[in-house]
Amino acid sequence: MLTQTLQDGAHSFEVSVRKSAPGSPVVLFAVGLGGQPERLSTLLDALTESGCTVVAPHFDRLASTTPTMEELTLRARRLSLTLDAFVEPTAKAIGVGHSIGAATLVTMAGGQMWLGPGRRVSIAPDSRLVRLALLAPPTGFFQAPSALDAVRIPVLAWVGSADSITPPAQTEWLARAMRDWTAVDVRITEGAGHFSFMDIPPPHTTESLPNKQAFLREYSSEICKFVAAS
């Protein structure tokens, strides 16, 4: 795994890069609130071993579970800048994201993200994304009428039954909202929580799964299969 520095105007940011063979599928990984992609190392390793090049920008930890408009637009901009740096202009990429990263990818795929009435987050769509794998996605941002109408790519959405932050009802709502034009493959793991997808969860969290390592391997393998189908 390499780390490269990219420029965002006058500022710079780090990107973890796991390279595979030239011409391999590119996975853009969008991290959650904590900002450090290496905390999902089983997933990133599995994607690389399956033949993908994985690029994952680092972010500062969000201070609140309700991000500001500026924080969301910065993350989306740097995700697109990462694609600029590692994807040929005519090439495509698969977006994989956890939590707020998953919601950001939905917006980049054409969704309209709202923080409240009259507060739409201005994020330009990125046509390089050809499918999305969403882990514990928060979908309350997309409750406005027609907010998901422009998302027309395959979606796999995975959530744990014990997730109290983004409960399964949110993912099930996403599938219903898009059912007329996009089939959302919903996976619900019994007993898994919001942070069960992470090798290194936030401090002071309690793991609800009796065999977390088996789950990490299982879901990572399924994400690799979904990516390979692109």
Nearest to 181 by CA among 156, 148, 159: 148
Instruction: Give me the number of domains the chain comprises.
Output: 1
* Token representation of residue 91: 């090439």
Neighbours of 137 (CB within 10 A): 27
Whole-number pLDDT of residue 89: 73
* DSSP per-residue letters across 68-107: -HHHHHHHHHHHHHHHHHHS-TT--EEEEEETHHHHHHHH
Residue 1 has pLDDT above 90, yes or no: no
Residue 217: which region, alpha, beta or left (left: phi > 0; alpha: psi -120 to 50)? alpha
Helix (H, G, I), strand (E, B) or coil at 135: strand
pTM: 0.96
Give per-residue pLDDT as tens, 146-179: 999 999 999 999 999 999 999 999 999 999 999 9
Whole-number pLDDT of residue 62: 93
* Interatomic CA distance for residues 74 and 163, integer angstroms: 27
Give per-residue pLDDT as tens, 173-196: 999 999 999 989 999 999 999 999
**Domain around 211:** 2-228
State which amino acid sits at residue 143: Q
